[in-house]
Amino acid sequence: MGAQKSFDDLGLTGEVLAAVNELAYVEPTPVQMKAIPAILAGRDVMAAAQTGTGKTAAFLLPTMSRLDRVGRRRGPSMLVVTPTRELAQQIVEVASVICAHTHHRSASVVGGVGYELQRAALKRGCDVLVATPGRLLDLMGEGACSLGDVEVLVLDEADRMLDMGFLPDMRRIVAACPQNRQTLLFSATLSDDVLQNVGTLVRDPVRIEVAPKGTAAQTIEQYVLGVSAEAKKRVLVEVLRREGADRVIVFCRGKHRADHLCRILCKKGFSAAPIHGNRSQNQRARALAQFRSGEVGILVATDVLARGIDVSEVSYVVNVDVPHEAESYIHRIGRTGRAGVRGWTLMFVDEDEYLDLRDIERLMGKKIADYPKAEGLDVGEHPARLDPARSPRDRLPSKKARKRTGRRR
């Protein structure tokens, strides 16, 4: 299997291979090489791979190679459950290209938009349904959607659905599907939490792990800069002026902070748009479309954009705030350096965030390099001191101990 370098070698149908060509996929990624033959063989799969490795195609290509077409039934043959509207839209975009060749029908049901078009699509019947949990359960509850014909169930970004509190919803959805289905579980990690809570939903699965937890893509150069908290906005503006402001994603903590940073950047003459949970589906989709087209150069986002969103050729990522959870850093920086293209990231660290930085370095097993172009930047009166002798192997106080003692280092 390791020697396979072509989609032609994986057993996909000619119709799906035509879609592969239209999608401009050149060589299968490691997760695709391992997952596609197992899925074609009808096996359940549990797959973990770092963000940007082609998980969406890894489950869509083989399932749609062997999926029955809808007759007059209302329920889908394949159900993909994913945590956010953006991820659902991205999956639907890929599925639509494949459907044009295989003559399947696809539809999506997600929150944040009206019900009527979704009810109409379900009434017409579809082969592939992509859904967020809450909206799917709403439509099931009113009798507009039946899962009795599901042959393949895909739980996409399973670890994130757990993080977002969707476990009860997932269990209700799974219980409504036939027991003799094929189940595919895709996740950034196969953590103990994932294995304990949703690992029981698969039967004798093929387990695939392309990269261990905490592994960032090798195509990403990472840098860190110690700053004062009050200097972050000023430093961000200067970095954007120095490094360029096209195809940049800026991550921060909190919806209001994202809006505030976006307003500041626009006042400074940059083209920026916010993406976070308080924005409507249309606003979020428009911001992504404008970013992809180049109409908007900077996206200012919370972690709603950190997982699974495929935006090609992101120049670099700036973490204005250090994420509280170390794993979130891996997902954030994975927006750049995708599909073999090199990218880089910069993270601002103030004194209160120093131990969060240390958690990230411990997770990755490596120290992040100092930003080499820091000279001349006004980082504030009391920037965080980043100990040059710090080691990822150092023992750190637990998060609980830090809260109890107020320890910052």
Give the chain's domain count: 2
Instruction: With H, G, I as helix, E, B as strand and everything else as coil, classify residue 155.
Output: strand
Model confidence band, residue 383 (pLDDT cutoffs 50, 70, 90) = very high
Percent of the chain with pLDDT over 90: 62
Q: What is the pLDDT of residues 86-123, one digit of tens each?
A: 889 889 999 999 999 999 999 999 988 889 999 999 99
214 lies in some domain: no
| Whether pLDDT at 2 is above 50 | no
CATH no. for residue 169?
3.40.50.300
Which carries the bigger pLDDT value, residue 269 or residue 310?
A: 269
Q: Are residues 263 and 304 in the same domain?
A: yes
- Distance of CA 213 to CAs 51, 208, 216, 326, Å? 11, 13, 9, 11
352 lies in some domain: yes
Q: Are residues 111 and 256 in the same domain?
A: no
Question: Which stretch of 155-159, 269-273, 301-305 has the lowest confidence by average pLDDT?
Answer: 301-305
Query: Which of 184, 209, 234 is at the close of a domain?
Result: 209
Q: What is the mean pLDDT of residues 185-189?
A: 84
Give per-residue burial for 258-294: e unless 16+ CB within 10 Å, then b.
bbebbebbeeeebebbbbbeebebeebbbbbeebeee
Q: Are residues 155 and 284 in the same domain?
A: no
Q: Are residues 165 and 281 in the same domain?
A: no
Model confidence band, residue 214 (pLDDT cutoffs 50, 70, 90) = low
Q: Provide the 10 A C-beta neighbour count for residue 124.
A: 11
Q: What is the pLDDT of residues 339-370, one digit of tens each?
A: 667 889 999 999 999 999 999 999 889 999 99
24 lies in some domain: yes
237 lies in some domain: yes
Contacts of 259 (CB under 8 A, 6+ apart): 274, 276
Q: Identify the bridge partners of residue 156 per DSSP, sorted by sequence position.
A: 186
Q: Are residues 235 and 324 in the same domain?
A: yes
Q: Are residues 181 and 237 in the same domain?
A: no
Q: Are residues 317 and 236 in the same domain?
A: yes
Q: Are residues 365 and 283 in the same domain?
A: yes
Summarize the chain as % helix, strand, coil (round to 5). 40, 15, 45
- Segments forming the whole domain that contains residue 284: 220-405
Q: What is the pLDDT of residues 20-58, one digit of tens each?
A: 999 888 788 889 999 999 999 999 999 987 666 788 999
Per-residue pLDDT at 1: 40
Written as one string, the DSSP assignment of 269-288 is T--EEEESTTS-HHHHHHHH
Q: Provide the 10 A C-beta neighbour count for residue 148.
A: 10
Per-residue pLDDT at 252: 95
Q: Are residues 143 and 285 in the same domain?
A: no
147 lies in some domain: yes
Query: Which of 175, 209, 243 is at the close of a domain?
Result: 209
Q: Are residues 65 and 204 in the same domain?
A: yes
Query: Which of 174, 209, 244 is at the close of a domain?
Result: 209
Distance (Å, whole) CA 409 – CA 396: 9
264 lies in some domain: yes
pTM of the model: 0.65
Helix (H) or strand (E) holding 369: strand 369-370
Q: Is the dihedral of CA 131, 134, 139, 140 positive or negative?
A: positive
Q: Identify the bridge partners of residue 221 per DSSP, sorted by sequence position.
A: 344
Which of 25-34, 103-112, 222-231, 323-332 is the most confident on average?
222-231
Answer for the pair 16, 102: CB distance below 8 angstroms, yes or no.
yes
Average pLDDT of the chain to the nearest whole number: 89
Q: Identify the bridge partners of residue 5 per DSSP, sorted by sequence position.
A: none
215 lies in some domain: no
Answer for the pair 245, 318: CB distance below 8 angstroms, yes or no.
no
2 lies in some domain: no
| Whether pLDDT at 258 is above 90 | yes
The residue length of the chain stands at: 409
Q: Smallest Cα–Cα separation from 48: which of 172, 269, 214? A: 214
Q: Are residues 133 and 189 in the same domain?
A: yes
Q: Are residues 168 and 282 in the same domain?
A: no
